[in-house]
């Protein structure tokens, strides 16, 4: 009897030790080695950054974001897209890791495992192939959101491709994007990462005194519709998201940008 109890204790200790070893291997041996140089390559003008409700602004070398701890993702991501960024450099895809600059710690990538959702980039990795450092920092979990696969690879990908075409045409763009984060959204994983019901993208070109803008709001579902049918005013995105865009611009310029959905000339 005593031997059986002793064996049971030994087996239990072995089991616990094995679990700990596998956890350590998962955490450290398979952790990504992201090579990211800490220098600010592209300064984003203040007028491009939306007013943040969450007040947790994070600035990386090639994009900025406002992190929502409640939803475990960015409420917006803002970045520049230049013609010179559009290279086809072959980059090794790194692992996703938590964002070291998010004070509350960004979501663990394991929330997405077996969830049925893609880890959808907000600042696309495909827009950052020009630099290993720029490419790698798009794999912080603060820059991803749950996306349905057919949406991510479909209409959302089509919009990202169109934005690259505009960067080729107009040379210099500012992009602001994110999911519409509202109350009572469903969540995935042990941290309940919110699944947005819609995503927006606002693209700005020109100077602060003569800017041109185009905005899109797309329901989070597969769609074969034309991009133009999802074109909206910035005002309508503000009402849904509770964010405030272009607040620091001249009042008349801001009013025109936010209210006009189709006055700007953006060739498809």
| Percent of all residues in the chain with a pLDDT value above 70, rounded to a whole number | 82
Q: What is the pLDDT of residues 93-104, one digit of tens each?
A: 999 999 999 999
pLDDT number for residue 248: 84
Examine the domain organization and report whether 118 and 200 are in the same domain.
yes
Q: For residue 179, is it within any domain?
A: yes
Q: For residue 221, is it within any domain?
A: yes
Annotation says 121 is catalytic: yes
pLDDT number for residue 30: 44
Domain encompassing residue 10? 1-30
Q: For residue 267, is it within any domain?
A: no
Q: For residue 78, is it within any domain?
A: yes
Examine the domain organization and report whether 123 and 46 are in the same domain.
yes
Examine the domain organization and report whether 94 and 70 are in the same domain.
yes
Highest mean pLDDT among 90-94, 142-146, 250-254: 142-146
Examine the domain organization and report whether 48 and 167 are in the same domain.
yes
Q: For residue 59, is it within any domain?
A: yes
Looking up residue 56, the CATH number of its domain turns out to be: 3.40.570.10
* Count of structural domains, the chain: 2
Average pLDDT value for residue range 48-59: 85
Examine the domain organization and report whether 148 and 16 are in the same domain.
no
**Who wins on pLDDT, 250 or 98?**
98
Distances (CA, A) of 118 to 85, 121, 148, 175, 240: 25, 9, 6, 21, 24
**Who wins on pLDDT, 166 or 248?**
166
State yes or no: pLDDT of 127 exceeds 60.
yes
Confidence of residue 29 (pLDDT cuts 50, 70, 90): very low
pLDDT number for residue 83: 95
Examine the domain organization and report whether 134 and 8 are in the same domain.
no
| Strand (E) or helix (H) holding 240 | helix 234-241
Examine the domain organization and report whether 148 and 254 are in the same domain.
yes
Q: Is 59 left (phi over 0), alpha (psi -120 to 50) or beta?
A: beta
In the block, tokens 């049925």 appear at 116
Q: Which tokens go with 242?
A: 């509770």
**Who wins on pLDDT, 47 or 10?**
47
Highest mean pLDDT among 18-32, 107-121, 243-257: 107-121
pLDDT number for residue 95: 95
The single residue of 60, 85, 121, 220 carrying the catalytic annotation is 121
Q: For residue 14, is it within any domain?
A: yes
Q: What is the pLDDT of residues 84-95, one digit of tens each?
A: 999 999 999 999
pLDDT number for residue 15: 65
State yes or no: pLDDT of 27 exceeds 60.
no
pLDDT number for residue 31: 46
State yes or no: pLDDT of 37 exceeds 60.
no
Q: Alpha-carbon distance 85 to 171, whole Å?
A: 10
Angle between helices 234-241 and 251-259 in degrees, nearest 10 = 90
pLDDT number for residue 86: 95
Examine the domain organization and report whether 59 and 9 are in the same domain.
no
State yes or no: pLDDT of 58 exceeds 50.
yes
pLDDT number for residue 20: 59
Examine the domain organization and report whether 70 and 179 are in the same domain.
yes
Examine the domain organization and report whether 96 and 193 are in the same domain.
yes
């Amino acid at each position: 009897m005593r031997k059986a109890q002793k064996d049971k204790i030994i087996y239990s200790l072995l089991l616990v030790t094995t679990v700990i070893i596998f956890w350590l291997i998962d955490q450290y041996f398979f952790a990504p080695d992201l090579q990211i140089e800490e220098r600010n390559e592209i300064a984003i003008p203040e007028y491009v950054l939306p007013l943040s409700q969450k007040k947790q602004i994070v600035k990386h070398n090639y994009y900025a974001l406002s992190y929502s701890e409640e939803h475990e993702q960015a409420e917006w991501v803002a970045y520049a897209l230049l013609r010179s960024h559009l290279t086809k450099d072959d980059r090794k895809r790194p692992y996703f890791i938590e964002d070291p600059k998010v004070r509350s710690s960004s979501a663990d990538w394991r929330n997405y495992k077996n969830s049925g959702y893609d880890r959808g980039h907000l600042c696309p990795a495909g827009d950052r192939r020009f630099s290993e450092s720029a490419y790698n920092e798009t794999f912080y979990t603060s820059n991803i959101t749950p996306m349905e696969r057919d949406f991510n690879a479909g209409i959302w990908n089509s919009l990202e491709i169109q934005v690259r075409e505009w960067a080729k045409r107009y040379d210099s763009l500012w992009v602001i994007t994110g999911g519409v984060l509202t109350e009572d959204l469903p969540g995935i994983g042990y941290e309940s990462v919110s699944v947005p019901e819609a995503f927006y993208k606002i693209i700005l070109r020109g100077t602060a005194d003569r800017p041109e803008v185009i905005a899109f709001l797309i329901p989070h579902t597969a769609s074969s519709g034309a991009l133009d049918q999802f074109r909206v005013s910035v005002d309508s995105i503000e009402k849904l998201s509770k964010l405030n865009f272009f607040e620091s611009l001249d009042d008349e310029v801001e009013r025109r940008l936010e209210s006009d959905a189709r006055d700007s000339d953006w060739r498809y």
